[in-house]
Amino acid sequence: MSGHEEYKPKSKAGKWLNDRLPLLTLGAHLTDYPTPKNLNYWWTFGGILTFCLLTQIITGIVLAMHYVAHADLAFASVEHIMRDVNYGWLIRYIHSNGASMFFLAVYIHIFRSLFYGSYKSPREVIWIIGLMIYLLMMAAAFMGYVLPWGQMSFWGATVITNLFSAIPLVGDSITTWLWGAYSVDNPTLTRFFSLHYLIPFLILGLVVLHIWALHVPGNNNPVGIDIKKPSKDTVPFHPYITIKDAFALLLFMIVFAGFVFFTPNVLGHSDNYIPANPLVTPAHIVPEWYLLPFYAILRSVPDKLGGVILMFGAIFILFVLPWLDTSKVRSAVFRPIYRQFYWIFVIDVLMLGYVGAMPAEGIYLVLARVGTIYYFLHFIVVMPLVGLFEKTEPIPMSISEPVLGGGAELSLAKKDNGKI
């Protein structure tokens, strides 16, 4: 932020505006922003996520022009969009698959942060804002899934809102308040629509804060060391990072287009093409794939309140992760023990997602319980202890040296060199 010279607009009009509102200075900051030059493709998902958010907002605004938020008309209005609105099928399939692509990207983004220690000092606030975005994304996605008013919409809404009835004393009142009725009904649908339209703009605001907070310390990088900015370790954001982000975004869009045009319903549930019927419960009520690990945690506890606490705990424990991780080294590249636990944790979350889609019985219930216990052990026991006892590998002094040195003449810092 500091250290490089003040931006001076060239034109008179530019100077006039910039003296009153320094938009041009902001633009210059964004283009010149010194970025570590060794960022790998896992770092391109920030840009991809911005694209996802904007795609959802734009397609969502168009869908809202044609959608009718009413229990008797919602399902028919979605079919109207699919059949009668020009390119309505395309807009709706982009929006519904876009939600899945958004979560795919956000999971990669979060796990990248976990691997390279991007949540650690001085980037805790970026991490916490990111988690708030993630929470709002889950709320928005859940409410969005309710809007078509299919069977899975209705019963998913029933299951999730019923979770609040587990709260002692006031649970039932809170649930009734959320519904606006004595069961999931038309008032529930209309408020979900209202909130579904609101939340993306809250996310957009948080994204601005997320990027602002990022631009204070600057990007972490695969080596995880602090670097001088600007220096030979950095490149200006434009054109180096913009072109690389554009390339990664295009690859992502090819996958996205593959889903939209060739298997638009594979990530959804067929029951959601059956209109909501309060009298018929589906055989298996399953949430969308991106919520399955938490669903598995919820169902692994025999007690309802306990399940709800653990499910929310599984998310909220991430908020204190920067203080649970005791290691002074950021990047798992130099952390041989943590690196292994990291991959075990990844497998654990994937397994929880798998059993979340299966019926909660027999071996699946056992796996869900083991997976849930391990999930919490990873944060409460593994992260603090590994940080304390792990013997980390030597850390390079700068990015340029390991990249340009060709291996033999790496000048490396002493092992465990305190503050990196």
User: What is the contact surface with other proteins in residues (CB under 8 A)?
Assistant: 37, 76, 79-80, 82-83, 89-90, 93, 235, 239-240, 243-244, 246-247, 250-251, 253-254, 257-258, 260-262, 264-266, 269-271, 273-275, 283-284, 286, 289, 339-340, 343-344, 346-347, 350, 353-354, 357-359, 403-404
Q: Which tokens is 144 given?
A: 């969005």
Neighbours of 13 (CB within 10 A): 8
Q: Is the Cβ of residue 206 or residue 248 nearer to other proteins in the bound state?
A: 248
Q: What is the DSSP string of 192-251?
A: HHHHHHHHHHHHHHHHHHHHHHHHTT----TT-----SSSTTEEEIIIIIHHHHHHHHHH
Closest distance to other proteins from the beta carbon of 149 (Å): 13
Q: Which tokens is 41 given?
A: 């493709």
Whether the Cβ atoms of residue 331 and residue 116 lie closer than 8 Å to each other: yes
Q: Which tokens is 282 given?
A: 């589906």
Closest distance to other proteins from the beta carbon of 63 (Å): 16
Whether the Cβ atoms of residue 344 and residue 206 lie closer than 8 Å to each other: no
Closest distance to other proteins from the beta carbon of 340 (Å): 6
CA 266 to centroid of chain Cα atoms: 21
| Site of tokens 């090819």 | 254
Q: Which tokens is 372 given?
A: 């849930």
Q: Is the Cβ of residue 72 or residue 172 nearer to other proteins in the bound state?
A: 72
Between strands 234-236 and 34-36, the pairing is antiparallel
Closest distance to other proteins from the beta carbon of 336 (Å): 11
CB hemisphere CA count around 87 (13 angstroms): 8
Neighbours of 415 (CB within 10 A): 11
Q: Which tokens is 135 given?
A: 């929470």
Q: Is the Cβ of residue 24 or residue 82 nearer to other proteins in the bound state?
A: 82
Closest distance to other proteins from the beta carbon of 339 (Å): 8
Give φ, ψ of 288 to 5 degrees.
Answer: -65, 160
Q: Is the Cβ of residue 75 or residue 379 nearer to other proteins in the bound state?
A: 75
Q: Is the Cβ of residue 225 or residue 286 nearer to other proteins in the bound state?
A: 286
Q: Is the Cβ of residue 17 or residue 248 nearer to other proteins in the bound state?
A: 248
Q: Is the Cβ of residue 67 or residue 164 nearer to other proteins in the bound state?
A: 67
Neighbours of 312 (CB within 10 A): 15
Closest distance to other proteins from the beta carbon of 295 (Å): 12
Q: Is the Cβ of residue 109 or residue 244 nearer to other proteins in the bound state?
A: 244
Closest distance to other proteins from the beta carbon of 222 (Å): 12
Closest distance to other proteins from the beta carbon of 192 (Å): 22
Closest distance to other proteins from the beta carbon of 95 (Å): 15
Ramachandran class of 40: left when φ > 0, alpha when ψ lies in -120 to 50, beta otherwise: beta
Q: Is the Cβ of residue 191 or residue 238 nearer to other proteins in the bound state?
A: 238
Closest distance to other proteins from the beta carbon of 166 (Å): 26
Q: 183-212 burial string, b = 16+ CB within 10 Å, else e?
A: ebbbebbeebbeebbebbeebeebbeebee
Q: Is the Cβ of residue 82 or residue 139 nearer to other proteins in the bound state?
A: 82
Closest distance to other proteins from the beta carbon of 264 (Å): 7
Q: Is the Cβ of residue 169 or residue 279 nearer to other proteins in the bound state?
A: 279
Strand segments (E) across 102-209: none
d(CA 136, CA 210): 14
Q: Which is it for the CA torsion 240, 218, 207, 320, positive or negative? A: positive
Q: Which tokens is 170 given?
A: 């006031």
10 Å CB burial of residue 224 (0-12, 13-18, 19+) is buried
